[in-house]
Chains A and B, each alone.
Chain A
């Protein structure tokens, strides 16, 4: 019995064309190796001429083309006919497509993202309540690095569906600051003071011109909007620096920045209103006055 199994096993092993399989495996490994090497050198070649985004795209494309070519050669070597493989792949795609709708949708969304190019690698975007720098645009998802250094993965499908704000698309940005001043203050004087601050601040651009708008009369303050432009990379410094400068300048000029006031009166300090009831004497006797019965 054991001898029979052994004989069958030996027959099975000797039946496999080891040489062909080894050659196919070698071709696959060679494909991966050559693809990586070539992608790397092409990436280096285009490094100085293109953006990081395009460089990554070109590298991926080179790698996949080389790998697919070698994979086809490997299948041939292993004795598969390409037509059969493609046919099987077609059936398999339908089956897999039904089974993994999410992945397929993400892949297609990814393709649209690459074509539409709403953002590139290195841009700071705001999507799905997350702000971060795009570190990778992959087949299924986009990876972000948030300012507090978290790695966030957002599926491509979500990016296609939701509103995405690209904060790095244009080289300059406007900062709008809302400032409330007391009703007693001279609005024109405050406007001149704020525009003077914009003129002296090195981050603030001369053009487009900064401006001050009165946006409303709030419950405890006159609300002003102070808008000025900065270079994209100076946004944080420009905003923070200007806030400090405004506080200093308004304090220096004796201009009040009011905060909501609430006055609470304790009952014992205020005399109650005097109420006199007018009506028949009977009623007066029945209903005692609530507040003051001395009158």
Chain B
């Protein structure tokens, strides 16, 4: 492959990038490096997990004519009528995500608390004006956990690598994470010890504000009588603290009527 001058920019979600045949676009985002190559008859997607222990701050996007070494596995997709347009759409996890506060937190009887939670995203590679999805790439290696009363009843969830924070400033803002404000209301007569809770990530839509940060609508959990009977409510829009936002990705699953209670009754708190 011939080397050409490569331009490095900051990547943008849901932006229509125009590629010419033979060009390769490289993205370094979160713990993943992705290469998208456009050829005359096919798209090629390569992905590599980065073994880094820090939280990368930026999304680096590079356009050039160099493809990575042959060791990196390649996924090939037949081209259709796409005019060389590729978009990278964010998506929330397909399973609920278990969040922990930094330290177990007690909510007194009748009290409420607002926690800000950052969850890792998935990147959907979509081509053409119709946004045909080619593949989906996790931007951080998802680790799994089990949430349930015992090992028979429960649900497999993703474990969040970050903690829920009381102060919005304490939540690290990254282009590969979305922020969700979670309000927990304790209507019981006893205090509620919050060690971990399950955030229904597949039900959350994603919005982008003018600073390029991704937000989801707020989630309210009301704990009424005992730990297992909590009701869940997802707001229609993002909170005011997120600023002016526009929708970039709809939720993976629609909240079906009647399902709300089932989910909430099931296992909100571990």
Contact = CB atoms under 8 A, between A and B. Distances in A.
B159 A206 contact: yes
B144 A205 contact: yes
Interface string B147-158: 100011010100
B142 A229 contact: no
Contacts, number: 36
Given A170-B152, A171-B156, A207 B143 contact: no
Contacts of A207: 98, 145-147, 159, 270
Interface in A76-118: none
B156 A172 contact: yes
Contacts of B146: 171-172, 205, 207-208, 229
| Interface residues of chain B: helix, strand, loop or mixed (majority) | strand
B142 A202 contact: yes
A231 B151 contact: no
B261 interface: no
Contacts of B152: 170
A154 B270 CA distance: 41
Interface residues of B, number: 14
Contacts of B144: 202-203, 205-206, 231
| Interface residues of chain A: helix, strand, loop or mixed (majority) | loop
Contacts of A231: 144, 156
Contacts of A208: 146, 151
B141 interface: yes
B143 A206 contact: yes
A202 B145 contact: no
B266 to A, nearest CB: 14
Contacts of A205: 144-146, 156
A172 B151 CA distance: 7
A241 B79 CA distance: 36
A210 to B, nearest CB: 12
A172 B270 CA distance: 16
A207 B150 CA distance: 11
Nearest to A174: B151
Nearest to A202: B141
A171 B153 CA distance: 9
Interface in A266-294: none
A131 to B, nearest CB: 21
A287 B92 CA distance: 94
A170 B156 contact: no
B139 to A, nearest CB: 14
A282 B144 CA distance: 86
Contacts of B141: 202
Given A206-B159, A231-B156, A170 B145 contact: no
A229 B146 CA distance: 9
A202 B147 CA distance: 17
Nearest to B153: A170
Interface string A235-279: 000000000000000000000000000000000000000000000
A202 B156 contact: no
A59 B145 CA distance: 37
A118 B143 CA distance: 32
B20 to A, nearest CB: 37
B145 A206 contact: yes
Contacts of B270: 207
Contact of B151 (A170, A203, A204, A206): A170
A260 B147 CA distance: 42
Interface string B106-147: 000000000000000000000000000000000001111111
Contacts of A172: 146, 151, 154, 156
A275 B37 CA distance: 87
A66 to B, nearest CB: 34
Interface in B55-99: 98
Contacts of B147: 207
Greatest chain B CB density within 10 A among A203, A206, A208 is at A206
Interface of B: 98, 141-147, 151-152, 154, 156, 159, 270
22 contacts: A170-B152, A171-B154, A171-B156, A172-B146, A172-B154, A172-B156, A202-B142, A202-B144, A203-B144, A204-B143, A205-B144, A205-B145, A205-B146, A206-B98, A206-B143, A207-B145, A207-B146, A207-B147, A208-B146, A208-B151, A231-B144, A231-B156
Interface of A: 170-172, 202-208, 229, 231
Given A206-B144, A208-B151, 7 more contacts: A170-B151, A204-B143, A205-B145, A206-B143, A207-B98, A207-B159, A229-B146
Closest 6 CB pairs of A and B: A206-B145, A206-B159, A207-B145, A205-B144, A207-B146, A205-B146
